[in-house]
Structure 1
């Protein structure tokens, strides 16, 4: 079990008024970090990587415990977020990738990110490295399926619920987390109950020209498609984000193409590109002009995934 150096804390109120318990030198709580049990102090200077991490903290009313966020430039502006007011209360620490120097310089006491999405062996910032520096870390459960040494395999939307529960435990606001999870579960259940009794094949197009970059079975869009009455044409690919050949898309004949909307290329330009490819002319989704635009933060682990699910559910019911 990982342990961190003790830190003396004082009582604080969260942004929504939930009381975070006072913590003495021995006050820690044991919470899973992927498949590893870790002891946590109550964080006071949390750093979030990308919108999904920050949104989870804001949705739990923990803005007062967030120092800032790291937001690569391809991400949509935080001013467009439903949590825009919370983003405005904390510091934007960088518009680049997460790195060790940034975290150390910020005197962060918790970093929230995904495995290989924020944390990276290649870039020299991992939970194990931060443990050695006395800096706590929490990972998106949906990214844990291939975490070295402590893998954990959980369906992506179930992973979202688990993240909220774990963060609720770390920050000592479990009741707030339980209420939020119950609300999200009810919204998901409503979409599932109203979904058409079909398995309409769906292909997610993220980017790429020679080979399209898409979603495999370990990322939230796979669950979004399934719950709303669709079926990811790459649901048999064990992974997260992956590239495939165009011939695979043609062979699997998606009836809907989901467009991941982010970066410098607009969703409209992505749709125009797909329509321009001669090899896709026979694909039902292209022939019937069935394109659904998913915002970037509706496709990564965070509470906005449920917004995307509700919108996609309505789209599928209208087909």
Structure 2
């Protein structure tokens, strides 16, 4: 479990890395639509991803999704209605903020591979899946020195590869400020690749409307301090405070909820360890704990609050449990609303 916990943070950091890479799409006219698609993407379509160009002659049919430390990519495929193309999925949290999504993820084939030490798909197992598209949370998913099939090897085997445009870097170092717009970019890219751009735009529009509604409710209200904690998930440190959210997409989520992360960092640091002494003197109005296969996440939240009776959050037992909606993916609007209701409940009565 320690390896898995460490992996989650490593890959979550990669999920949030903004490296300045971009994805552009060039369509060629006179393509024939495939069944079960919208017939809008004109194949062949060329997509530039992380400095390389990939050409799709049709919507992918044998997709492999890497990185157990993320669910943003597989959740996006589910939301777009194309998860039936996945032949091997390594992504799973065991929990979701969207009803039935965790069960939908569990129902996707896993490929029955033996994971490597990073709990991911090693080179030979990957090639044995005969994919036509491999999706990785970050550029490191194709690193040969980590035992993965490279993008070049996969191309030679007939597979295109894709990394969310914000995550092209191998190291996962954050060099920008990830926002909800990166989630929309992921949806739009996959919508183009799978010939469901209309579905992607509807998902984006629905999210934008939901977030605008929530932001409108809390507009003009005092910004409240929200502490976002990944309990017991620190690298080699199982304490409650070894992995506290610093720089990441969640800061955009928190901001749109009418709140602020008191430990927001703009220097490329994704997670920080905060001492109990510093936490004690930081006013906290609401606590958000991230559930990753916790046997009793509510007990964890209550344990954290009990250590800081001076917090407003403790005096009102004010906490929320979230799982996947704070990350890159199709459901950031869910997290925005949950956090807004946590710290501005009077605006939702």
TM-score (ref. length: structure 2) = 0.72
Distance 1:228 1:173 in 2: 30
Identify the residue that residue 62 of structure 2 maps to in structure 1. 45
1:245 aligns with 2:260: no
1:60 aligns with 2:80: yes
Contact 2:286–2:343 (8 Å) recurs in 1: no
Change (3 A) 1:282 1:116: farther
**Higher RCO structure (Cα 8 Å, ≥6 apart):** 2
- 5+ residue gaps, structure 2, are 1-21, 24-30, 233-238
Identify the residue that residue 284 of structure 1 maps to in structure 2. 312
Determine helix, strand or coil for the equivalent of 2:222.
coil
Determine helix, strand or coil for the equivalent of 1:194.
helix
Structure with the higher fraction of residues in strand conformation: 1
Change (3 A) 1:148 1:274: closer
1:272 aligns with 2:311: no
Contact 1:31–1:169 (8 Å) recurs in 2: no
Distance 1:207 1:84 in 2: 20
Identify the residue that residue 325 of structure 2 maps to in structure 1. 298
Contact 1:142–1:159 (8 Å) recurs in 2: yes
Moved more, 280-289 or 191-200: 280-289
Moved more, 117-126 or 172-181: 117-126
**Aligned residue among 102, 107, 111 for 1:93:** 111
Change (3 A) 1:51 1:108: same
What's the offset of the Cα at 1:210?
A: 6.7
Determine helix, strand or coil for the equivalent of 1:92.
coil
Distance 1:149 1:269 in 2: 32
Q: RMSD of aligned C-alpha atoms?
A: 3.5
**Aligned residue among 226, 230, 236 for 1:206:** 230
What's the offset of the Cα at 1:228?
A: 0.5
Change (3 A) 1:266 1:237: farther
Q: Could you list the per-position Cα deviations for residues 19-67 of structure 1 after superposition, in whole angstroms to 9, with x for gaps in the alignment?
A: 47685xxx2412344xx25223242211224432111112222234222
Identify the residue that residue 5 of structure 1 maps to in structure 2. none
**Aligned residue among 203, 212, 235 for 2:264:** 235
Change (3 A) 1:263 1:282: same
Contact 1:20–1:171 (8 Å) recurs in 2: no
TM-score (ref. length: structure 1) = 0.78
Contact 1:69–1:94 (8 Å) recurs in 2: no
Moved more, 149-158 or 54-63: 149-158
**Aligned residue among 132, 141, 146 for 1:123:** 146
Distance 1:300 1:40 in 2: 28
What's the offset of the Cα at 1:229?
A: 0.3
- 5+ residue gaps, structure 1, are 3-8
Identify the residue that residue 186 of structure 2 maps to in structure 1. 163
Identify the residue that residue 215 of structure 2 maps to in structure 1. 192
Distance 1:213 1:55 in 2: 24
Change (3 A) 1:21 1:140: closer
**Aligned residue among 136, 145, 170 for 2:160:** 136
Q: Could you list the per-position Cα deviations for residues 141-170 of structure 1 after superposition, in whole angstroms to 9, with x for gaps in the alignment?
A: 4445x5569987453311000111111222
